[in-house]
Structure 1
Amino acid sequence: MSYIVQPDVVKYACTCGILKPISNLYFCRHCLEIRCSFCVCHEADSHYCGKCAENLPSSEARLKKNRCGNCFDCPSCHQQLTTRAANVGPKNGEDTKATPRKVFYLLCLLCRWSSRDVGIPDQSAVSGGWPERENVYANRLQEIQDMYKGIVLSDKQQKLEKDKKKQRRYMSFTDRTGITASMLRKRVGLPDVPHPLLKSKPKEPTKAIATEDVEPFLEDLLTQPVNLSLITTMEQRLVQPELQPTTVDKLFPIHKHLSVKRSQRCRSCEHNVSKPEYNPNSIKFKIQLFAYYHIPEVRLITVEPLRAGKVSELLIKFINPTQHQTTVTILPYKVQDDLTLEECKSEIAQQPEEKQSIPVASSQPSSLIHSSLSRQPSITIKPRSVTVPIAASIEVPNNTFILPPRDDAAEYDDSGDTHNIQDDPKLVVWRKSNKAVIRLKIIPESDSKIGDEVVVGFIMQHVYVNTITTVDNKEPQKYEHKIKVFLKLGGLVGNE
């Protein structure tokens, strides 16, 4: 039996219709839907450097252009640069008995590029002070940025003034007659003093002027052979867009890009499905609603040779990752079926009629769910059908089978405890702890050709226990959750 996760063989259908392995899916416990990376909102929680683990707030990271001030990348191969130490003896004219001093330089352990190759002087401290090349167009770029910032501020100010005029009331005689302080100063003969809150218009940068003077063409390009080892590649130039060095001797260390810890939020109910810790050294999650921990995992064990129009036996394993017992039912999948949201979520527990609706649990009070503090309005995502070429039909068993809860200690138990579950021997072939292997029969289509990929699909219905409590319901609720599963069984072989 295979205990290796099969991302390319077994895939689950997301609500948006995309097929992905279970390791790449999320499960929202509030709206009881599977979400992929396209069905969630990505939010940046914190910025940090992956090398020195320095944590920066978003405002400071924006000022530093999302780069670390202490760590550098190699300009040649774009790997991390390490700081190396070297001993330097006394200079000419100094005492020869003086102890050698220690200096530091940058070195790439992959391509052996060094800061000494481009003439960067060694530093006496590890923390830095490395010289940087100045951009000759830095002043002009700053002028353009200041001009556009001033335009944005003036537009906001004009909008505020229009809003004030609409709500303006005459509070004094000067406001009623239209006489302002500036007009009074002019009548008296005093110089006009601008209001300190009114900013002057931004200085417009000088316009770019085209010139006919160009650099002369070098005849050495036609007479001398080109040494590609001395010329930078296109990738090396684009990494430094402000300088774009053309030769290797102009490559300077690049400040390392900051990494981002991001959280994923469900687009429908706006609850987090994944939220990491704020500490950059931590690999834990505050919230980790991955589908791998809530949805039964399906693995392909064996399949008989597939022949067109003939029955083949298929063995698949089901694994229950939750701490609650679940009942799994295999239902047929048809391309014409378009499961609605109500069909995907049906409550098992017998409740009064006023409580028949699916409760949406929340970690916040009900008064705060629809408040103005929400980041964006909820988006109703309708389930879409999956367009997958199904090349085989499956004989759906009439019986269901039970998966016991997960027990970590049972992984090391060789007694083979089956929890005294009475299984149908025609359906369940093997079970241990929270795992069970079932036997299914599939029939490839008769008009399939030899070598065609055979894909079979079915709907897995399992009982999900939602442990999130609400104001109305304090006890865990049980639901029947349906998921579309697709298996790639390989190519079709010829008849014997």
Structure 2
Amino acid sequence: MSYITGPDVVKYACSCGLLKPISHLYFCRYCFQLRCSFCVCHEVDSNFCGKCSENIPSSEARVKKNRCGNCYVCPSCQQELSTRIASKGPVNPEDSKSTPKKMYYLSCQFCRWSSRDVGIPDQSTVTGGWPERENVHSNRLQELVDMYKAIVLAQKQQKDKDKKKQRGKFLSYTDRTGVTAAALRKRIGLPAEFTHPILKNKPKEPEPASAKTEVDEVPEQLLTEPINLMEITTVEQRLLQPEAQPVTVDKLFPVHKQLSIKRSLRCRHCEHNVSKPEYNPSSVKFKIQLFAYYHIPEIRIVTVEPLRAGKQCELIVKFTNPTQHQTTIAFLKLNMDEEDASLDSEVAEVIQDLDQTLSLQEKQQMSLTSLPLSTSQPSSLISVPSRQPSLTIEPRKISQEVNCDIEVPTSSFILPPRDDAAEYDDSGDTHNIQDDPKLVKWRKSNKAFIKLNVTPMSDLALNSEVVCGFIMQHIYTNTVASKEPQKYNHKVKVFLRLGQLVGSE
């Protein structure tokens, strides 16, 4: 029995309205919503080199233009360069006591490019001293940077000065009396550049750029001799070295490796971290990893009958519970025409009810396992966090079109908690669960195979993509908000791409 596990087969609807696979989503345990990479805040934790694993501070990374000072990449294929050893003969061959000297050069093991190809001399040490190509425009670029830094500094000082004036605090006696600084300088007889601190420290403006009147003529070789593309650099190779932009391959120099970053992701709604890695560059672990794969039941398509327009087909779907708590899953009908109320507004309303009515506190402590899971269950029975949302995110409309009707089951089914040891136990399951035989076809440990009936629309064209959708409602057990586990119903919109329509009988 083969599974259909492509990344575009089963997609979940994020809180912002985008459809993503479960491996690309995060789950916030504080506001109970799915988050994708577009609706979280990205923060840079550290900069490091992916080759030597050196951790570099942010200030030093800006000075080094976000590149490592010791590691290089190939200017031809952008792969990492390795240091190779070569022996150099003795200076005096007749002297028997002199030994060969070790020399080092850079070589690419992917495209066989080496530093010897462009005439870079071999070095006597492993870590050092590779010659850098000088930028002919470095002085002018530095003058421009200094000028714009002074402008930014002047604007910042003027902004701070205006803020203090609005508060009623004056920087000097002249600001309070209304005597301007220009009038005071005229009375004293001093020029402006010696009194104003901003004008005094302002650097000299560089000369404006001027266009050339005479342009170099086109070389005659381009018209008479055939062009050898192996000797001409590509656009990627030129843009890798923007300060020189070499035209021929014999002018390619090694490029410093670009630094990598470790980033933490923060929920925009409640401002809690959903992902935070370790600070050590060589570590692949996470301090916080709230991936949806570890909190939301995973759905996979097992088998589907040939799809025919207007004909009912059987679909087998596999559900997996990744949590350490038992959950109950029910199906709700997906209506794309009506706009469903967002979870943010629902949580906010329940929080207001909890603040006004003391009797609802007892309902928070009730376990939902003894309650029937139905669509008519009031939202006041749902256990919610005590934190007020700080930012309202308006979800966008889902653009996915559904062209297949699904027969929503009226009954629900239970998924036991995940047990790693049960994967290797062939003696059978110990859970005594009474399942509906029309719904649950087979189960083992925390997995269940569910049978669904789908009917593609009768007006679909041949070989068109068939997409169906439903709302999965499952009980999520939260252990973060309080000491006692809280349970509530979480709803997720799921879309399945079943394949192409094969025709009618």
Task: Note whether the superposition's TM-score is higher than 0.5.
Answer: yes
| Cα distance per residue 1:399-423 (max 9 Å; x no partner) | 1100000000001011220501011
Query: Counterpart in 1 of 2:480?
Result: 468
Structure 2 CA distance for aligned equivalents of residues 110 and 435 of structure 1? 45
Instruction: Determine whether 1:359 maps to 2:384.
Output: yes
Write the mapping of 1:371-382 to structure 2, written as runs, cut at 5 A.
378-382=390-394
Per-residue deviation, 1:243: 0.3
Aligned alpha-carbon RMSD (Å): 3.1
Amino acid at match of 1:491: Q
Amino acid at match of 1:353: L
Query: Counterpart in 2 of 1:296?
Result: 297
| Cα distance per residue 1:114-133 (max 9 Å; x no partner) | 00111111111111210001
Structure 2 CA distance for aligned equivalents of residues 176 and 383 of structure 1? 54
| Cα distance per residue 1:159-213 (max 9 Å; x no partner) | 3344455635699899879799x98999799xx9768898422210112222323
Structure 2 CA distance for aligned equivalents of residues 467 and 170 of structure 1? 54
Amino acid at match of 2:50: G
Instruction: Determine whether 1:22 maps to 2:31.
Output: no
Structure 2 CA distance for aligned equivalents of residues 64 and 70 of structure 1? 11
Query: Counterpart in 2 of 1:82?
Result: 82
Instruction: Determine whether 1:334 maps to 2:341.
Output: no
| Cα distance per residue 1:280-321 (max 9 Å; x no partner) | 100011111110000000111111112222221111111000
Query: Counterpart in 1 of 2:410?
Result: 398
Contact 1:245 1:251 (8 Å CA) reproduced: yes
Query: Counterpart in 2 of 1:115?
Result: 115
Contact 1:339 1:385 (8 Å CA) reproduced: no
SS state of the match for residue 424, structure 1?
A: coil
Amino acid at match of 2:43: E
Classify 1:147/1:358 alpha carbon distance in 2 versus 1 (closer, same or farther; 3 Å): farther
Instruction: Determine whether 1:66 maps to 2:91.
Output: no
Classify 1:185/1:297 alpha carbon distance in 2 versus 1 (closer, same or farther; 3 Å): closer
Per-residue deviation, 1:495: 2.8
Per-residue deviation, 1:97: 3.2
Query: Counterpart in 1 of 2:502?
Result: 493
Per-residue deviation, 1:151: 1.1
SS state of the match for residue 131, structure 2?
A: coil
Amino acid at match of 1:102: K
Per-residue deviation, 1:272: 0.8
Classify 1:153/1:297 alpha carbon distance in 2 versus 1 (closer, same or farther; 3 Å): same
SS state of the match for residue 134, structure 1?
A: coil
Q: Identify the range of structure 1 (408-417 vs 153-162) with the bigger mean alpha-carbon deviation.
A: 153-162
Query: Counterpart in 2 of 1:49?
Result: 49
Amino acid at match of 1:117: D
Amino acid at match of 2:461: K
Classify 1:248/1:392 alpha carbon distance in 2 versus 1 (closer, same or farther; 3 Å): same
Structure 1 CA distance for aligned equivalents of residues 432 and 252 of structure 2? 71
Instruction: Determine whether 1:483 maps to 2:492.
Output: yes
Contact 1:275 1:288 (8 Å CA) reproduced: yes
Contact 1:418 1:432 (8 Å CA) reproduced: no
SS state of the match for residue 30, structure 2?
A: coil
Contact 1:84 1:105 (8 Å CA) reproduced: yes
Contact 1:103 1:122 (8 Å CA) reproduced: yes
| Cα distance per residue 1:214-259 (max 9 Å; x no partner) | 2233212212222221111111111111000011111000000001
Classify 1:383/1:238 alpha carbon distance in 2 versus 1 (closer, same or farther; 3 Å): closer
Contact 2:92 2:98 (8 Å CA) reproduced: no
Classify 1:70/1:4 alpha carbon distance in 2 versus 1 (closer, same or farther; 3 Å): farther
Query: Counterpart in 1 of 2:242?
Result: 241
Q: Identify the range of structure 1 (385-394 vs 87-96) with the bigger mean alpha-carbon deviation.
A: 87-96
Query: Counterpart in 1 of 2:153?
Result: 153
Q: Identify the range of structure 1 (94-103 vs 196-205) with the bigger mean alpha-carbon deviation.
A: 196-205
Query: Counterpart in 2 of 1:224?
Result: 225
Instruction: Determine whether 1:423 maps to 2:424.
Output: no
Write the mapping of 1:265-344 to structure 2, written as runs, cut at 5 A.
265-342=266-343
Amino acid at match of 1:450: L
Per-residue deviation, 1:153: 1.2
Amino acid at match of 1:423: D
What are structure 2's unaligned runs of at least 5 residues?
365-379
Write the mapping of 1:123-272 to structure 2, written as runs, cut at 5 A.
123-164=123-164, 167-168=168-169, 199-272=200-273
Classify 1:20/1:90 alpha carbon distance in 2 versus 1 (closer, same or farther; 3 Å): same
Classify 1:142/1:38 alpha carbon distance in 2 versus 1 (closer, same or farther; 3 Å): same
Aligned length: 476
Classify 1:446/1:173 alpha carbon distance in 2 versus 1 (closer, same or farther; 3 Å): closer
Q: Identify the range of structure 1 (88-97 vs 246-255) with the bigger mean alpha-carbon deviation.
A: 88-97
Per-residue deviation, 1:263: 1.2
TM-score (norm 1): 0.88
Contact 1:150 1:201 (8 Å CA) reproduced: yes
Structure 1 CA distance for aligned equivalents of residues 434 and 124 of structure 2? 76
TM-score (norm 2): 0.87
Contact 2:39 2:268 (8 Å CA) reproduced: yes
SS state of the match for residue 23, structure 1?
A: helix
Contact 2:3 2:303 (8 Å CA) reproduced: no
Structure 1 CA distance for aligned equivalents of residues 409 and 471 of structure 2? 12
Query: Counterpart in 2 of 1:436?
Result: 448
Per-residue deviation, 1:494: 2.5
SS state of the match for residue 148, structure 1?
A: helix
Q: Identify the range of structure 1 (442-451 vs 243-252) with the bigger mean alpha-carbon deviation.
A: 442-451
Contact 1:332 1:458 (8 Å CA) reproduced: yes
Classify 1:309/1:339 alpha carbon distance in 2 versus 1 (closer, same or farther; 3 Å): same
Per-residue deviation, 1:91: 2.4
What are structure 1's unaligned runs of at least 5 residues?
363-368, 371-377
Contact 1:90 1:96 (8 Å CA) reproduced: no
Contact 2:238 2:245 (8 Å CA) reproduced: yes
Q: Identify the range of structure 1 (378-387 vs 26-35) with the bigger mean alpha-carbon deviation.
A: 378-387
Contact 2:14 2:20 (8 Å CA) reproduced: yes
Structure 1 CA distance for aligned equivalents of residues 442 and 459 of structure 2? 34
Contact 1:327 1:463 (8 Å CA) reproduced: yes
Contact 2:328 2:475 (8 Å CA) reproduced: yes
Query: Counterpart in 2 of 1:365?
Result: none
| Cα distance per residue 1:73-106 (max 9 Å; x no partner) | 1011111100001111112577353111111000
